[in-house]
Structure 1
């Protein structure tokens, strides 16, 4: 693709309508100091100090903020938050982005807003404390969410399905309900990133990394899986699920497989410290947005690959990629085009 082709595609993104259903979370960053010399008068235990707290959208929420950074202007979310301070922060962040949150339900009891804490000590992430891992969504609320999704699907170009947590919004039984709904809206392109139940989704492009590919097939993961390994095993998984497959290969690049074509792109040269937090969300958002705007698989995989390269160079943050950043990267990698 050329810079003009990329810019033209991004103009089409502004009218693309995207929905996101799944596990909405916050990423909570803060600096942690464990050697303070202070002890609690009440417990006589060491006191740790925290500073520079910063919350950003994570999980399905990070998919949304990546969509907005790419220029999507019409985005709806379908999911749940808790009636707690983290849920209120998530609502605030989504509303600031201009996202339609009418179907983001606040659960009054028994639901903690999903949170990944990111304590940084001497610039390095240490042990997380996660919230929301024990959530159990009542069947009645799931029925409400599906009704909201059904209403949204009539007006969407693309739907992204995200599942992050061990007790997700979408259990195997609920994926079957979702599958039955999606067949009624064949005009909507679907992209799924689902850590545990991805092989059960139908009618969607399933995004996996190489570790997830090996897990879904119950095979050993080589230390450095090459392209042939990914194509061979990706084809096996694609035949099992019956739908297209998008495989991220870290710094080795990306691969798309469907019944009719194979598209692969090599990893881009990166430098300096890298942070892969949220890179998969960037890939999902970029791929889905491009396909929803009418891009070919070859174009979409190239944009998604560049978007991921932008994101991983943003350290200690849940990164996104904008058109300006993508164009700068493209021009850096292709200087002859601009002479």
Structure 2
């Protein structure tokens, strides 16, 4: 794509309406110092010091902030948060982005807002501390969530389904209900990123990485799976499911396959230190925005590849990619090829 074509596509993003349902989290970053020379007078244990706390949206929330960075302004989120300080922080972050939280349920009991606490010690991420990844959604609250989803689907162009937690908002035993509801809205394009239960979703493009594809098929994954391996396994997956596949291949690029076409884009040869955390969310958000704006699969692959290349160059953060950043990268790596 040319620079002009990319800008024209992004102009259409303003009219795209996207919903995101699934596992929302807060990413909490802070600097940790363990050698302080201080001991607690009460417990007589060493005291650690934390500094520079900073929060951003994680998991499905990272998909949302990527959508906003791309210029999508009509976003609805559907999920659950706890009635706790992290839940209030998530609400604040969503409100700051102008996101519609009408269907984000606040649960008053037995539900901790999910938090990925990521201490940075001497320039390296130390042991992560997770909150809320073992929540269990009641049947009554799930029913209310489906009611909200039905209302939202009437006004959406694209629905993104996210599953990340070990005990997710949408476990396997509830996907039939979700599939039946989605089937009633064929005009809505659906993109699913579900690392454990994705093989059970229907009516959606399933985004996977090569490790997840191998997991779904129950086969080992080569250290460096090549394109032929991806094509072979994607076709094997589609023998038991008609689901289109969007396969991220790390530095090798992205691969797309459905019943009509097979497309691939090669990764960019980036220099310097890279951080791939959240890159899959960037791909999901960019692909979804492009589909909602009427882009072809080839165009969506190219833009998603550029966007992911932007975010992996942002260290110690769940990065996003804006139009200006994508255009700069396009100018550097693509326009001069």
Instruction: Tell me whether the two structures share a fold, i.e. TM-score over 0.5.
Output: yes
TM-score by length of 1: 0.98
Task: Report the 3-state secondary structure (helix = DSSP H, G, I; strand = E; otherwise coil) of the residue aligned with 2:240.
Answer: helix
Counterpart of 1:159 in structure 2 is 159
Q: Show structure 1 runs of 5+ residues with no match.
A: none
Distance 1:89 1:111 in 2: 15
Counterpart of 1:210 in structure 2 is 210
The aligned length equals 337
Residue by residue over 1:98-122, the C-alpha shift from the partner in whole angstroms, topping out at 9 and shown as x without a partner, is 0000000100010000111111111
Task: Report the 3-state secondary structure (helix = DSSP H, G, I; strand = E; otherwise coil) of the residue aligned with 1:240.
Answer: coil
Alignment of 1:187-198 (within 5 A): 187-198=187-198
Alignment of 1:50-199 (within 5 A): 50-199=50-199
Q: Show structure 2 runs of 5+ residues with no match.
A: none
Seen in structure 2, the aligned counterparts of structure 1 residues 12 and 264 have a Cα distance that, compared at 3 Å, is: same
Alignment of 1:253-332 (within 5 A): 253-332=253-332
Of residues 286-295 and 37-46 in structure 1, the stretch that sits farther from structure 2 once superposed is 37-46
Indicate if the aligned counterparts of 2:2 and 2:335 stay in contact, CA closer than 8 A. Answer: no
- Does the alignment pair 1:22 with 2:22? yes
Give the superposed CA RMSD.
Answer: 0.9
Indicate if the aligned counterparts of 1:191 and 1:204 stay in contact, CA closer than 8 A. Answer: yes
Residue by residue over 1:312-331, the C-alpha shift from the partner in whole angstroms, topping out at 9 and shown as x without a partner, is 00000110000000000000
Report the alpha carbon displacement of residue 37 of structure 1 after superposing the two structures with TM.
1.1
- Does the alignment pair 1:219 with 2:215? no
Residue by residue over 1:59-111, the C-alpha shift from the partner in whole angstroms, topping out at 9 and shown as x without a partner, is 11110000000000100000010011000000000001000000001000100
Indicate if the aligned counterparts of 1:201 and 1:241 stay in contact, CA closer than 8 A. Answer: no
Indicate if the aligned counterparts of 1:17 and 1:155 stay in contact, CA closer than 8 A. Answer: yes
Distance 2:178 2:29 in 1: 34
Residue by residue over 1:262-309, the C-alpha shift from the partner in whole angstroms, topping out at 9 and shown as x without a partner, is 110111011111111111110100001101110111110111111100
